[in-house]
Structure 1
Amino acid sequence: MKNNAPTVMVLWHANPNPFAPPLLSTNQITGVLDEHSTQEFNYGTQKFSFPRGEFDLEALLKEKNIDKPDYLFVCLDSTTPYIARNIKNVCENSFLCLGDSHHLPQPITRLINYASNEKFGGHIFTNNVRHAHWFKHRCDADQYFEPALFALNLGSNLDDNLRPINHSKETPVFYGQMGQFHPRRGRIMPNLLQKNLVRHISGSREQLSTQMKQSMACINVTLNSDLNSRVFEIAQTGCLQIVDQLSIFNGHGSVLIPGHNCLTFQTEAELHEVLSDVNYLKQIGTVLGANLKHEFDQYWGIERIKDRLSASVLSDSVKLNPTPKETARFNNSNKNADFENRLLVYENLLELHRSNERISIYIDSNHSHEYIQDLIDLPRLEFPEKDIFLEDSKSLRIYIKENNLKTPELFFVS
């Protein structure tokens, strides 16, 4: 390892414009998909491109005459647009950076299959540290938690001379997509926009950051109870964040602390009630927004991640933020439910949770406790007693029962 100037290589999974890859070093090489090779973005000292699908990273670097890096960060999400192979021969200090693992059918399975077949020194969780225990079961890698790793750097676009306006801040705002891939936003936001309780904003990073700083709040409707990058983009502006409640296993109560650095809601009615109390938002918003900005600057932001990476270089041990102890779940035991069965149930409910506002579950199994412990990650699920379950006509009802092969099956109850 060249300790005086270690080379960092980042493989990026998304269109770098607007989803820019993190800049972790002044000596960084950034790889993007071939179709994004002509995009303009801040890539560090060098950029290169790689194909969609599976490829041998060692062979590709040799072909392009690119030296092997000292540190390698392979960034992926549930879409897995590429599968880089031969990681162990490219870099010993390699990290798989896991973003969205809550979208599309079997997103965890897809990523675990890759992670367990390549030798990574560590797995870094961003959106879904709640999924760390699934990877721990199959993969021999240290686990880290850097939830702001994929967040856009909006801080550099803020005008520090822009005078705060405490008594005439504008209507709360929302930015982001509301299409078919974000169904909860499509359910919640149109009614609030129609009632002029929220403004839908768009534009460049400069325009977004300025509008948030001038607004009394910014709404964050997550896709599937994920600790999304928007949490940390809003944080950089000092704007009050109003976000749907997450699982305690995914940063609720630690990263996001209701009443201290954010406000939360569970239903559209709750969000409507919060937005209707303008005086309360004005009274509390500045303090809560400032608290989250302070914590971002002091702990979560890209500059702190770079500090931890620099400390890792100097000490020859990884100083990145470890995963919280709360992410640990069941120990392996013959008495426990089969791993594949647990993951089957969880991934099916994960996808249903993304698409439905309220789901009622009844589990007929000796392992119901374990299934429920996995599923409490998903805050819109309910687990009523059987008689209440059968009478609940307002929810999507799912009955789970194991068949003769001890495999759980999910049934829709009409």
Structure 2
Amino acid sequence: MGGWEIEDIKAAAPRILLSWPAPPDYIRPPLLSQRQVTLCPRAKGFGLGFVDPLESLVECPGEDYDLFDFVQQSKQIPDKGFDLVVVWTSSFDSSNPLNTKKFGCPTVLLAGDTHHWKFPINHLLTYWITEGFDYVATAYNRQHLHWFAAAGVENLAWLPLISLHTVSHEWVETRENQVVFIGQKGSRHPRRSQLVQAIKNADLPILIKTANRQEAAKWFAHSLISFNCSQNGDLNLRNLEVISAGGFLLTDQLSFASGLDELLAPGTYCDTYNSEAELLEKVRYYLDHPQEAIQIARRAYHTFDEKWHPRHRIQNLLDWVFGGELPEPFRYSPRSDVRYFVSTASSAWIDTRLGIYEPIQELHRVQERLRVFVGRGCPGVIAADLLDLPRLELYVEEGFGDPCGLLQQKGVPERIHEVRGEPASWPSFDAVVCTAEDLQRLGRPLRTSFAFILGEDTQLLFANAGNITETFLIDLVQGRSSVPSAWLWGYEGVEYEGTVARLSRVYQSAVSVLSDVRVVVDVRAGVGVASACFRTLHPEAAIHCFEVDPLALHLLRQNILSLGNCFVHPVGLAGQNSCRTCQLWPEDPQAEWGVEQLLPFREARAALKELGLESIDVLRVATGGDEVEVLTSLQEQLEDIKVIYVEFCSEQDRKQIDQMLDPTHLLWQGEVVAGQRGVLCYLSRACFVDNNSSLGEET
């Protein structure tokens, strides 16, 4: 322990090395000790008003690096000995320090975000195995500690919001009768964005701002209601930021395992909502009963310093490491989570469990409600794993057991539904988890977007959602083209550069002769790459995206939030109404059992008419084979469309498309690959004539 005895460390501030992954002006590092050295990336000018009070702030490498060697070679750190090494990291952090044990003192892993990004729990477990940290604690996701227990971690703690940066504000009694939201929206926060929009659409007074901590504290204190929404069931910093400033916290209901109820006691120190409808109901109630909101806020404000100030959690950490003392409920044990024993007893196949949980957790991040069926042959621990996702509805067969007393937990019984009768009468699910034996026994295909099939050895035989967490951001800057920059989520298998390049070459030249583009319809929009290009070229247009593939839809729903004025319609367009099935598993098309996707298609003309889309300026059709059907359905509407951008998959289709559009449209640009496929851009003849006439007048 760097030459210190436990008594000495308690009497004086321990010397701590903290590895912090964020720029200090974006997320301020916590001050764990007055004798602390903090390694973090360079400040990037975020302007969030943070001042560095630390003894030493040292810039660290931007990739994985040897922590011990870095400290030995750093001239900024003359004293190389430490009493404690603390590393905060998440799956999206670009660098992880290695060789932490070489300092010869206790090491602590502070697990950051495990509720989103690429296989976040797996990433942290792998890092723990690599480094062998003595202690593991979480600040945001107590519900995930059972995974670490199952992996073999013995010293586990929940230190809620230990990294909170407090900004004091005097108590404000008289407040604006409004909701305030301060924070991030966009593609990373789809549910939050949707709920903020719902408040606006309900004509309720809401102030939406981005602000530094000082400014945020002022708005929390002066507004009647401070709205918060977790990113994905996590206990996030905004909860205590609101309370510490004296705001009335209205936040989303989290799971029984999250610790929210134990920490903040909804109804006493805050209030919660479980759906969009309940959110709007409670906003209206408190706007009509402001004194009730102020009373709750006052109670929490005066309790903050005594119970929730981050200095208490920092002291818990030091007492835990140096004295073995950690009070309930912060020590993770069987009493902290009813799932402790069933999870640790199933540690042998933790990889399979995470292979199911992490993709479904990612679906839960985006969807308001998630319907998941778990077959009778699956171990009960799978249901136990999934039920800490607070908006997940679990469907089971009659006679479902109660693994580890889950039915006694708050909010769980009403989320478990028994299905009876023939599978043909069952609903379509977002995800199905079954054994192969379950499916054979049921005898009829189950309808689902995503499936996880287990074999006799509890290994995954099939999963079509594994790459749903393989999302990343792509930049649509295209070299010399004039397409501005736009960020999009994507996934492996999508031809991003090809899509953008084709639109730039084939469509963009038509933009020069277009005017007043108000409505764009993108048929089979995929993840939204083409729609992003349309947004940059037509900034004011409303863009309507039609997509039926579940994986593409998952990403498209996030991407449109960055595009703005963009709408997703989860249906395919074709020549007639139909429901097409896609056999997921088994691969044998003759099998009368298994899992299948049920993909809804609507007759294009009727679907657009129902949506009021009878006046379209730009139409893109890229269905992979149904282009002729779609255009035929829209025959009466085609002559009024200024530009039609269509992809084709055969020479016959190309000829039919050209014959169909020739009377009203001019083939403006096109690309043909090997005669069988390509893209064509047709410009309305009326638009072309009008444009030439105006050019002639100018001349």
Picking from 432, 437, 450, the partner of 1:399 is 432
1:77 Cα deviation after fit: 1.7
What's the offset of the Cα at 1:222? 0.7
Partner of 1:187: 194
Change (3 A) 1:48 1:262: same
Aligned ranges 1:1-400 → 2 under 5 Å: 1-2=3-4, 3=8, 4-34=12-42, 41-65=51-75, 66=77, 67-155=80-168, 158=169, 160=170, 163-165=172-174, 168-194=175-201, 195-279=203-287, 281-309=289-317, 311=319, 316-319=323-326, 321-323=330-332, 325-327=335-337, 328-331=339-342, 338-384=349-395, 385-386=418-419, 397-400=430-433
How far apart are the structure 1 equivalents of 2:239 and 2:187? Answer: 21
The whole-number CA distance in structure 2 between the counterparts of 1:290 and 1:190 is: 28
- What is the alpha-carbon distance in structure 2 between the residues aligned to residue 360 and residue 309 of structure 1? 39
**Is the partner of 2:383 in helix, strand or coil?**
helix
Pick closer, same or farther for the CA change 1:8–1:334 going to 2, 3 Å. closer
Computing the radius of gyration from Cα coordinates, the structure with the larger value is 2
User: How many angstroms apart in 1 are the aligned matches of 2:317 and 2:455?
Assistant: 51
Going from structure 1 to structure 2, the CA distance change for 1:333 and 1:148 (only over 3 Å counts) comes to closer
**Matched-pair contact (CA < 8 Å) for 2:150–2:346:** no
Query: Greater share of strand residues, 1 or 2?
Result: 2
Structure 2 vs 1, CA of residues 78 and 291 (structure 1 numbering), >3 Å: closer, same or farther? farther
Structure 1 residues 281 and 122: alpha-carbon distance in aligned structure 2, compared to 1, 3 A threshold: farther
Distance 1:390-1:221 versus aligned 2 partners, 3 A rule: farther
Q: State the AA in 1 paired with 2:380.
A: H
Which letter maps to 1:185? R
Change in 2 beyond 3 A, CA 1:183/1:45: same
Q: Which moved more, 1:213-222 or 1:201-210?
A: 201-210
CA root-mean-square deviation: 2.8
Deviations 1:204-256 (A, max 9, x none): 21111011011111111111011111111112112111111101101132113
CA distance in 2, matches of 1:61, 1:38: 27
Letter in 2 for 1:60: F
* Cα 1:279–1:56 shift into 2, 3 Å: closer
3-state SS, counterpart of residue 107 of structure 2? strand
What CA deviation, in whole Å up to 9, does each residue of 1:116-138 have, x standing for no partner?
A: 11122211111101111101122
SS at match of 1:81: coil
Q: Return the letter of the residue paired with 1:364.
A: G
Distance 1:336 1:308, change over 3 A: closer
1:318-350 CA distance string (max 9 Å, x none)? 547423633352347888883222111111110
Offset of residue 191 of structure 1: 2.5
**Worse-matched range after superposition: 185-194 or 117-126:** 185-194
Alignment check: 8 A CA contact 1:216 1:281 kept: no
Segment drifting more, 260-269 vs 285-294: 285-294
| CA contact 2:179–2:205 (8 Å) conserved in 1 | yes
Q: For 1:149, what is the secondary structure of its paired residue?
A: coil
Structure 1 residue ranges without an equivalent (≥5)? none
Q: Within 1, Cα distance between the matches of 2:424 and 2:312?
A: 51
1:93–1:390 CA distance, 2 compared to 1 (3 A): farther
- Following superposition, the deviation at residue 373 of structure 1 comes to 1.0
SS state at 1:97 partner: strand
Residues 62 and 107 (structure 1), Cα distance of their counterparts in 2 relative to 1, 3 Å cut = same
d(CA) in 2 for partners of 1:191, 1:151: 29
TM-score (normalizing by structure 2): 0.54
Deviates more, 1:215-224 or 1:15-24: 15-24
Between stretches 369-378 and 190-199, larger displacement belongs to 190-199
Letter of the 1:287 partner, please give it.
Answer: Q
- Secondary structure at the counterpart of residue 257 of structure 2: helix
1:24-73 Cα shifts (integer Å, max 9, x gaps): 12112111025759997425111112112221111000010421321221
Bigger RCO (CA 8 Å, 6+ sep): 1
Q: TM-score, normalised to structure 1's length? A: 0.89
